[in-house]
Amino acid sequence: MDLQKEPAPGPAHDTAVLLCNLGTPDAPTAPALRRYLAQFLSDPRVVEIPRAAWLPILHGIILRTRPAQSAAKYASIWTDEGSPLAVWTHKQAVMLRGWLGEAGIQAQVLPAMRYGQPAIAAQLQALQDAGVRRVLVLPLYPQYSATTTASVVDAVNAWTRDARHFPELRFVNDYHDHPGYIAALAASVRAHWRREGARGDKLVLSFHGIPERNVRLGDPYADQCRSTAHLLAQALGLADDEWLLTFQSRFGRARWLEPYTQPTLERLAAAGLASVDVLCPGFAADCLETLEEINMEVREAFLHAGGKRFAYIPCLNDNREWITALSSIAQTHLAGWTAPAAKVQP
Protein backbone atom coordinates (compact mmCIF):
# COMPACT_ATOMS: atom_id res chain seq x y z
CA MET A 1 0.00 0.00 0.00
CA ASP A 2 1.61 3.24 -1.13
CA LEU A 3 0.66 5.86 1.42
CA GLN A 4 2.65 8.47 -0.49
CA LYS A 5 -0.23 8.39 -2.97
CA GLU A 6 -2.88 8.84 -0.29
CA PRO A 7 -5.75 10.54 -2.13
CA ALA A 8 -6.86 14.01 -1.21
CA PRO A 9 -9.92 14.14 1.03
CA GLY A 10 -13.29 13.64 -0.62
CA PRO A 11 -16.32 15.89 -0.21
CA ALA A 12 -15.34 18.56 2.26
CA HIS A 13 -16.31 18.37 5.92
CA ASP A 14 -15.55 21.21 8.28
CA THR A 15 -13.72 18.91 10.70
CA ALA A 16 -10.90 16.39 10.36
CA VAL A 17 -8.73 14.10 12.45
CA LEU A 18 -5.05 13.75 11.62
CA LEU A 19 -3.96 10.35 12.93
CA CYS A 20 -0.21 10.60 13.47
CA ASN A 21 2.30 7.80 13.91
CA LEU A 22 6.09 7.75 14.13
CA GLY A 23 6.91 6.81 10.57
CA THR A 24 8.56 4.23 8.39
CA PRO A 25 10.99 4.04 5.46
CA ASP A 26 9.54 3.81 1.96
CA ALA A 27 11.21 0.45 1.34
CA PRO A 28 13.41 -2.06 3.18
CA THR A 29 16.55 -0.84 1.41
CA ALA A 30 19.69 0.93 2.57
CA PRO A 31 19.00 4.14 0.56
CA ALA A 32 15.45 4.35 1.93
CA LEU A 33 16.69 3.75 5.47
CA ARG A 34 19.36 6.39 5.05
CA ARG A 35 16.73 8.99 4.14
CA TYR A 36 14.45 7.91 6.95
CA LEU A 37 17.11 7.74 9.66
CA ALA A 38 18.59 11.08 8.58
CA GLN A 39 15.23 12.73 9.21
CA PHE A 40 14.44 10.77 12.37
CA LEU A 41 17.81 11.11 14.08
CA SER A 42 18.18 14.78 13.10
CA ASP A 43 15.15 15.66 15.22
CA PRO A 44 16.42 17.48 18.35
CA ARG A 45 13.45 16.05 20.24
CA VAL A 46 14.76 12.54 19.58
CA VAL A 47 18.46 13.12 20.21
CA GLU A 48 19.04 15.86 22.77
CA ILE A 49 22.73 16.35 22.04
CA PRO A 50 24.08 19.72 20.84
CA ARG A 51 23.83 19.81 17.04
CA ALA A 52 27.50 20.70 16.59
CA ALA A 53 28.51 17.51 18.40
CA TRP A 54 25.77 15.19 17.14
CA LEU A 55 25.44 15.90 13.41
CA PRO A 56 29.05 14.94 12.52
CA ILE A 57 28.52 11.63 14.34
CA LEU A 58 25.19 11.08 12.60
CA HIS A 59 26.40 11.84 9.07
CA GLY A 60 29.97 10.66 9.46
CA ILE A 61 29.38 7.35 11.24
CA ILE A 62 25.78 6.28 11.86
CA LEU A 63 24.36 6.98 8.40
CA ARG A 64 27.29 5.15 6.85
CA THR A 65 26.73 1.90 8.74
CA ARG A 66 23.26 1.69 10.28
CA PRO A 67 21.06 1.90 7.12
CA ALA A 68 22.19 -1.47 5.74
CA GLN A 69 21.73 -3.13 9.13
CA SER A 70 18.29 -1.62 9.63
CA ALA A 71 17.26 -2.46 6.05
CA ALA A 72 17.85 -6.16 6.74
CA LYS A 73 15.66 -5.95 9.83
CA TYR A 74 12.88 -4.17 7.95
CA ALA A 75 13.08 -6.76 5.17
CA SER A 76 12.34 -9.49 7.73
CA ILE A 77 8.94 -7.94 8.57
CA TRP A 78 7.97 -6.25 5.27
CA THR A 79 4.68 -7.45 3.79
CA ASP A 80 3.16 -7.49 0.32
CA GLU A 81 1.18 -4.39 1.36
CA GLY A 82 4.29 -2.61 2.61
CA SER A 83 5.54 -1.55 6.02
CA PRO A 84 3.34 -3.01 8.81
CA LEU A 85 3.29 0.33 10.63
CA ALA A 86 2.03 2.15 7.54
CA VAL A 87 -0.51 -0.55 6.72
CA TRP A 88 -2.00 -0.63 10.22
CA THR A 89 -2.05 3.16 10.58
CA HIS A 90 -3.90 3.50 7.28
CA LYS A 91 -6.44 0.85 8.33
CA GLN A 92 -6.95 2.57 11.68
CA ALA A 93 -7.66 5.86 9.90
CA VAL A 94 -10.22 4.23 7.60
CA MET A 95 -11.91 2.43 10.49
CA LEU A 96 -11.91 5.50 12.72
CA ARG A 97 -13.70 7.50 10.05
CA GLY A 98 -16.34 4.78 9.88
CA TRP A 99 -16.72 4.58 13.67
CA LEU A 100 -17.10 8.37 13.88
CA GLY A 101 -19.68 8.24 11.11
CA GLU A 102 -21.67 5.65 13.05
CA ALA A 103 -21.64 8.11 15.96
CA GLY A 104 -23.07 10.80 13.71
CA ILE A 105 -19.79 12.67 13.27
CA GLN A 106 -18.87 13.39 9.67
CA ALA A 107 -15.14 14.05 9.71
CA GLN A 108 -12.21 13.45 7.43
CA VAL A 109 -9.60 11.11 8.93
CA LEU A 110 -6.14 11.01 7.37
CA PRO A 111 -3.04 9.09 8.46
CA ALA A 112 0.24 10.97 8.77
CA MET A 113 3.82 10.13 9.67
CA ARG A 114 6.21 12.26 11.69
CA TYR A 115 9.10 10.86 9.64
CA GLY A 116 8.64 9.58 6.10
CA GLN A 117 5.43 9.60 4.11
CA PRO A 118 2.67 10.70 4.13
CA ALA A 119 4.19 13.68 5.91
CA ILE A 120 2.26 15.68 8.48
CA ALA A 121 2.70 18.92 6.52
CA ALA A 122 1.44 17.37 3.28
CA GLN A 123 -1.65 15.92 4.95
CA LEU A 124 -2.45 19.19 6.71
CA GLN A 125 -2.15 21.00 3.40
CA ALA A 126 -4.45 18.45 1.76
CA LEU A 127 -7.05 19.04 4.46
CA GLN A 128 -6.80 22.81 4.12
CA ASP A 129 -7.08 22.56 0.33
CA ALA A 130 -10.26 20.52 0.82
CA GLY A 131 -11.82 23.27 2.90
CA VAL A 132 -11.40 21.74 6.34
CA ARG A 133 -11.59 24.44 9.03
CA ARG A 134 -10.87 22.40 12.18
CA VAL A 135 -8.26 19.67 12.68
CA LEU A 136 -7.79 17.41 15.68
CA VAL A 137 -4.19 16.15 15.75
CA LEU A 138 -4.27 12.71 17.38
CA PRO A 139 -0.82 11.14 17.86
CA LEU A 140 -0.98 7.37 18.22
CA TYR A 141 1.29 7.48 21.28
CA PRO A 142 -0.63 6.38 24.39
CA GLN A 143 1.99 7.82 26.74
CA TYR A 144 3.22 11.39 26.30
CA SER A 145 6.89 12.06 25.69
CA ALA A 146 8.74 15.05 24.31
CA THR A 147 10.52 12.58 22.01
CA THR A 148 7.26 11.61 20.32
CA THR A 149 4.13 13.66 21.05
CA ALA A 150 5.92 17.00 21.32
CA SER A 151 7.75 16.25 18.08
CA VAL A 152 4.39 15.88 16.31
CA VAL A 153 3.38 19.27 17.67
CA ASP A 154 6.68 20.67 16.36
CA ALA A 155 5.90 19.34 12.88
CA VAL A 156 2.42 20.86 12.92
CA ASN A 157 3.80 24.19 14.11
CA ALA A 158 6.46 24.13 11.40
CA TRP A 159 3.69 23.86 8.80
CA THR A 160 1.71 26.72 10.33
CA ARG A 161 4.79 28.97 10.24
CA ASP A 162 4.77 28.75 6.45
CA ALA A 163 1.00 29.07 6.06
CA ARG A 164 -0.77 32.36 5.51
CA HIS A 165 -3.94 30.84 6.93
CA PHE A 166 -4.54 27.51 8.62
CA PRO A 167 -7.36 25.56 10.32
CA GLU A 168 -8.18 25.77 13.99
CA LEU A 169 -6.12 23.11 15.74
CA ARG A 170 -6.49 20.84 18.75
CA PHE A 171 -4.06 18.23 20.06
CA VAL A 172 -4.43 15.00 22.03
CA ASN A 173 -1.50 14.80 24.46
CA ASP A 174 -1.97 11.21 25.62
CA TYR A 175 -4.50 8.52 26.47
CA HIS A 176 -2.39 6.33 28.75
CA ASP A 177 -5.18 5.82 31.30
CA HIS A 178 -8.21 6.03 29.04
CA PRO A 179 -10.69 3.32 30.15
CA GLY A 180 -11.37 2.21 26.58
CA TYR A 181 -7.66 1.87 25.78
CA ILE A 182 -7.03 -0.16 28.95
CA ALA A 183 -10.09 -2.32 28.24
CA ALA A 184 -8.91 -2.96 24.67
CA LEU A 185 -5.47 -4.05 25.92
CA ALA A 186 -7.04 -6.34 28.51
CA ALA A 187 -9.38 -7.85 25.91
CA SER A 188 -6.44 -8.55 23.58
CA VAL A 189 -4.54 -10.34 26.36
CA ARG A 190 -7.56 -12.44 27.32
CA ALA A 191 -8.19 -13.32 23.67
CA HIS A 192 -4.55 -14.42 23.37
CA TRP A 193 -4.84 -16.64 26.44
CA ARG A 194 -7.99 -18.22 25.02
CA ARG A 195 -6.33 -18.91 21.66
CA GLU A 196 -3.24 -20.39 23.29
CA GLY A 197 -5.18 -22.39 25.82
CA ALA A 198 -2.59 -21.42 28.43
CA ARG A 199 -1.04 -18.46 30.18
CA GLY A 200 2.65 -17.76 30.49
CA ASP A 201 4.28 -17.80 33.90
CA LYS A 202 4.59 -14.04 33.64
CA LEU A 203 3.08 -11.26 31.53
CA VAL A 204 5.83 -8.89 30.39
CA LEU A 205 4.75 -5.36 29.42
CA SER A 206 7.51 -3.90 27.28
CA PHE A 207 7.46 -0.15 26.54
CA HIS A 208 9.81 1.80 24.31
CA GLY A 209 12.56 3.35 26.40
CA ILE A 210 13.85 6.91 26.59
CA PRO A 211 16.98 8.28 28.28
CA GLU A 212 16.68 8.64 32.05
CA ARG A 213 17.92 12.22 31.67
CA ASN A 214 14.69 13.11 29.86
CA VAL A 215 12.67 12.00 32.87
CA ARG A 216 14.85 13.95 35.28
CA LEU A 217 14.18 17.03 33.16
CA GLY A 218 10.43 16.59 33.56
CA ASP A 219 9.23 14.16 30.86
CA PRO A 220 6.13 12.36 32.27
CA TYR A 221 6.61 9.30 30.05
CA ALA A 222 7.93 6.87 32.67
CA ASP A 223 5.13 7.64 35.13
CA GLN A 224 2.51 7.23 32.41
CA CYS A 225 3.98 3.86 31.35
CA ARG A 226 3.80 2.67 34.95
CA SER A 227 0.23 3.93 35.24
CA THR A 228 -0.79 2.06 32.08
CA ALA A 229 0.90 -1.13 33.29
CA HIS A 230 -0.74 -1.03 36.73
CA LEU A 231 -4.18 -0.30 35.28
CA LEU A 232 -3.83 -3.17 32.82
CA ALA A 233 -2.65 -5.60 35.50
CA GLN A 234 -5.59 -4.53 37.66
CA ALA A 235 -8.04 -5.03 34.76
CA LEU A 236 -6.63 -8.55 34.25
CA GLY A 237 -6.73 -9.36 37.95
CA LEU A 238 -2.99 -10.12 38.08
CA ALA A 239 -1.03 -10.36 41.29
CA ASP A 240 2.19 -8.35 41.54
CA ASP A 241 4.37 -11.40 40.86
CA GLU A 242 2.43 -12.34 37.71
CA TRP A 243 3.52 -9.38 35.59
CA LEU A 244 6.53 -7.20 34.91
CA LEU A 245 7.19 -3.81 33.26
CA THR A 246 10.32 -3.40 31.11
CA PHE A 247 11.74 -0.93 28.57
CA GLN A 248 13.15 -1.78 25.15
CA SER A 249 14.91 -0.21 22.14
CA ARG A 250 17.81 1.44 23.91
CA PHE A 251 20.00 3.51 21.58
CA GLY A 252 23.49 4.82 22.37
CA ARG A 253 25.52 4.61 25.56
CA ALA A 254 23.45 6.80 27.87
CA ARG A 255 21.47 5.22 30.67
CA TRP A 256 17.86 4.65 29.64
CA LEU A 257 14.78 3.67 31.61
CA GLU A 258 15.18 0.33 33.32
CA PRO A 259 14.75 -2.59 33.58
CA TYR A 260 15.79 -3.32 29.99
CA THR A 261 13.59 -5.91 28.28
CA GLN A 262 16.09 -8.33 26.75
CA PRO A 263 18.60 -8.59 29.64
CA THR A 264 15.70 -8.97 32.08
CA LEU A 265 14.17 -11.85 30.14
CA GLU A 266 17.55 -13.52 29.75
CA ARG A 267 18.08 -13.37 33.52
CA LEU A 268 14.59 -14.70 34.21
CA ALA A 269 15.09 -17.59 31.79
CA ALA A 270 18.46 -18.45 33.32
CA ALA A 271 16.81 -18.41 36.78
CA GLY A 272 14.24 -20.97 35.66
CA LEU A 273 11.27 -18.97 34.32
CA ALA A 274 9.85 -21.29 31.65
CA SER A 275 7.28 -19.22 29.77
CA VAL A 276 6.32 -15.60 29.14
CA ASP A 277 3.64 -13.66 27.32
CA VAL A 278 4.96 -10.33 26.00
CA LEU A 279 2.81 -7.32 25.15
CA CYS A 280 3.95 -3.86 23.98
CA PRO A 281 1.21 -1.49 25.22
CA GLY A 282 2.99 1.68 24.10
CA PHE A 283 2.66 0.82 20.41
CA ALA A 284 -0.74 1.29 18.76
CA ALA A 285 0.38 -0.70 15.71
CA ASP A 286 2.87 -3.47 15.09
CA CYS A 287 6.16 -2.25 13.69
CA LEU A 288 9.88 -2.98 13.61
CA GLU A 289 10.23 -2.62 17.39
CA THR A 290 7.53 -5.20 18.08
CA LEU A 291 7.75 -7.65 15.18
CA GLU A 292 11.51 -7.79 14.79
CA GLU A 293 13.04 -6.62 18.06
CA ILE A 294 10.60 -8.34 20.43
CA ASN A 295 9.16 -11.26 18.47
CA MET A 296 12.48 -12.21 16.85
CA GLU A 297 15.50 -10.88 18.75
CA VAL A 298 14.14 -11.00 22.30
CA ARG A 299 12.36 -14.29 21.64
CA GLU A 300 15.62 -15.88 20.51
CA ALA A 301 17.50 -14.46 23.50
CA PHE A 302 14.93 -15.77 25.98
CA LEU A 303 14.88 -19.26 24.50
CA HIS A 304 18.66 -19.37 24.17
CA ALA A 305 18.96 -18.45 27.86
CA GLY A 306 16.84 -21.45 28.86
CA GLY A 307 13.24 -20.31 28.44
CA LYS A 308 10.81 -22.87 27.02
CA ARG A 309 7.92 -20.82 25.65
CA PHE A 310 7.81 -17.22 24.37
CA ALA A 311 4.45 -15.86 23.20
CA TYR A 312 4.17 -12.42 21.62
CA ILE A 313 0.77 -10.72 21.88
CA PRO A 314 0.17 -8.48 18.82
CA CYS A 315 -0.47 -4.76 19.13
CA LEU A 316 -4.04 -3.50 18.99
CA ASN A 317 -3.79 -2.81 15.24
CA ASP A 318 -7.35 -3.04 13.81
CA ASN A 319 -8.86 -4.59 16.94
CA ARG A 320 -12.51 -3.51 17.18
CA GLU A 321 -12.31 -2.71 20.89
CA TRP A 322 -9.32 -0.49 20.14
CA ILE A 323 -11.01 1.41 17.31
CA THR A 324 -14.01 1.90 19.59
CA ALA A 325 -11.66 3.39 22.20
CA LEU A 326 -9.93 5.53 19.58
CA SER A 327 -13.33 6.83 18.48
CA SER A 328 -14.19 7.67 22.08
CA ILE A 329 -10.90 9.55 22.50
CA ALA A 330 -11.49 11.48 19.28
CA GLN A 331 -15.10 12.31 20.17
CA THR A 332 -14.05 13.73 23.54
CA HIS A 333 -11.59 16.10 21.88
CA LEU A 334 -13.95 16.95 19.02
CA ALA A 335 -16.65 18.08 21.45
CA GLY A 336 -18.09 21.43 20.44
CA TRP A 337 -16.75 21.24 16.91
CA THR A 338 -19.17 18.63 15.67
CA ALA A 339 -22.34 19.71 17.48
CA PRO A 340 -25.03 21.49 15.44
CA ALA A 341 -24.46 25.22 15.34
CA ALA A 342 -26.58 27.18 17.81
CA LYS A 343 -29.21 29.47 16.35
CA VAL A 344 -28.60 33.16 16.87
CA GLN A 345 -31.59 34.84 18.45
CA PRO A 346 -32.78 37.97 16.67
Concatenated DSSP letters of 290-332: IIIIIIIIIHHHHHHTT-SEEEEEPP-TT-HHHHHHHHHHHHH
344: in domain:
no
Contact, 23 vs 115, CB < 8 A?
yes
135: in domain:
yes
Which residues does 344 contact at the CB level (< 8 Å), separation at least 6? Answer: none
pLDDT for 345 beyond 70: no
**What CATH number should be reported for the domain holding residue 100?**
3.40.50.1400
Specify whether 150 is located in the same domain as 207: no
Specify whether 84 is located in the same domain as 196: no
Confidence bin at 253 (pLDDT 50/70/90): confident
Q: Which residues are annotated as a binding site for Fe(2+)?
A: 208, 289
Specify whether 52 is located in the same domain as 167: yes
The continuous run of DSSP H or E covering 247 comes out as: strand 243-248
Specify whether 66 is located in the same domain as 36: yes
pLDDT for 93 beyond 90: yes
340: in domain:
no
Contact, 26 vs 116, CB < 8 A?
yes
Specify whether 260 is located in the same domain as 278: yes
Name the domain count of the chain.
2
Specify whether 167 is located in the same domain as 195: no
42: in domain:
yes
Specify whether 113 is located in the same domain as 192: no
Domain that holds residue 134: 3-175+323-334
DSSP 7: P
The pLDDT tens digits for 46-60 are 999 999 999 999 999
50: in domain:
yes
Rounded to 10°, the helix 179-196/320-334 angle is 180
pLDDT for 129 beyond 80: yes
Q: Cis before residue 259, ω within 30 degrees of 0?
A: yes
Q: Which residues are annotated as a binding site?
A: 208, 289
Specify whether 187 is located in the same domain as 304: yes
Q: Return left, alpha or beta for 237; rule: phi > 0 is left, psi -120 to 50 is alpha, else beta.
A: left
Residues 225-245: what's their mean pLDDT? Answer: 98
